[in-house]
Amino acid sequence: MSLKTKIGQQLLLSMISPVIGLIYAFKSRNHKFIVFSGTLFMGLVGSAFMYNPGSDGLSHLDEVKKHYMDMSLLQFISDTGSLLILQPVESSNDLYIHFLSYLAGGVFGIPELLHFFAGLILGYFYTKSVLIVLEDRFERKKTWLLLALIALFLIIRSVSALNSIRMWTGMWVFFYGSYSYIKRGDVKYLLVVFLATLIHFSYLLYAIPLVMAVVLKRRKLLVAGLYIASFFISVNFDTASGLVESTGLYENKTGYVLSQERIEEHEAKADDNRQNANFYKALGPLLYLRKNNDVVHLEFLIAGGLIILALANISSSSSPMVSGRATAIAATFLTAAAIQVVFLENKLRFNSGLKKLINISFAGFLISAIPFLLFHISYAIGSVSIFIIVFPFSSWLLGDIDLSIREAIGDII
């Protein structure tokens, strides 16, 4: 069956049941078809997104209605020029959401299309990231441990990423570009990493430890030393922000005023992210310092995770938001590293004692991550229409009287 035929069937099947369409895609061995299917699925998830009160998603929708419904092409071009020289405008703070908002509101006149377009882009880079992490799977049979690690990698920051639109989409772009560059050695993937900074400006900051990981991935003692030292170093990000603002770059980006409620929410999320990093703090350096580890891409994942965690440590007291986000990004790198460790167990030549320790540590981590995992599942089912399971177009027609998966389950029970 040709790829075009399979894509046509997938489009039809997804209009009946996106979930069944995704299952159908998982059975395929065609890389392009899986990427298309993952992209389409996340686009449909975005089209069935629930705009819950107080959510970032609702705030983004309101911004489209306020600034973009009547925006002229000349105004859009002018604002784009300002954003290209790192100057935020009234309508937006980043080039990425500026384009999506104008496309949804200014071109199509349907603000809710914002999350459909955002879902397509998230789906593309998320699916590509998953595929590159799992491409070495032939070296290890499926076990409950491996499947659990993969499930954790798949669920965290997937559907829930649609709410914020920028930050976690940027993370998948950031991860895919950097990991592909290490595995493929093609400079074009550095442009993908740069794209992450256009999606969310904060990736200019997170690119610093990433560059360090690329340069220092083989200098294991130095990386481990930086990571350990980060527990005793604190950086005043308020002072750094003042210096950045004084240059005129990213004017108003660091000066946004958050309500006390939102500040406390970010601090709580940062604490949750740090609590779920305990496993990596214990086991990551142990695996990294092994002398017979000659898998460059694994060394990069661990080095990247540890150095980004070091950034989280040094910013924890002065900027909980920077710290919490850095911890979540590091967790993505290190979860991918954990999957690689299981895949490449034979190649890494673990002795029986270390193999047992690794398996016990992974099991302990997975048990400790259950509350975090359940939180993301709960968040996802509360943010997506029940019609993502069957007849997604029903969500488009019902509008405000649509039901989330959680609400539908509550009505049935």
Give the tens place of pLDDT for each residue, 243-277.
344 333 443 444 333 333 443 344 444 444 444 44
Range name among 35-44, 105-114, 217-226, 257-266 with the lowest pLDDT average: 257-266
In this structure, is residue 107 part of a structural domain? Answer: no
In a domain, 235, yes or no: yes
Task: Check pLDDT > 60 for residue 278.
Answer: no
What average pLDDT does the segment 225-252 reach?
58
Q: Is residue 108 part of a domain?
A: no
Residues 167 and 322: beta-carbon distance below 8 Å: no
| 315-333 pLDDT tens trace | 887 788 888 899 989 989 9
Question: How many domains does one find in the chain?
Answer: 1
The pLDDT score that the predictor gives to residue 203 is 93
Report the C-alpha gap between 153 and 353 in whole angstroms: 26
| Cβ–Cβ < 8 Å for 122, 164 | no
Among the ranges 3-7, 203-207, 216-220, 248-252, which has the highest mean pLDDT value? 203-207
User: Residues 251, 325, 153, CA angle at the centre, nearest 5°?
Assistant: 140
The two tokens of residue 260 are 């006390």
Mean pLDDT of the chain: 82
pLDDT for residue 285: 53
Read off the tokens for 22.
């995704």
Asked if residue 151 is part of any domain, the answer here is yes
Q: Is residue 8 part of a domain?
A: no
The answer, yes or no, to whether residue 239 has pLDDT greater than 60, is no
| Any domain includes 297 | yes
More confident residue, 296 or 129: 129
135 falls within a domain? no
- Rounded to two decimals, the pTM is 0.85
Question: Domain range for residue 272?
Answer: 141-380
| Mean pLDDT across 373-380 | 86
At 67 the pLDDT is 94
Of 129, 110, 118, which Cα lies nearest the Cα of 46?
118
Residue 117: inside a domain = no
- DSSP-derived 3-state class of residue 92: strand
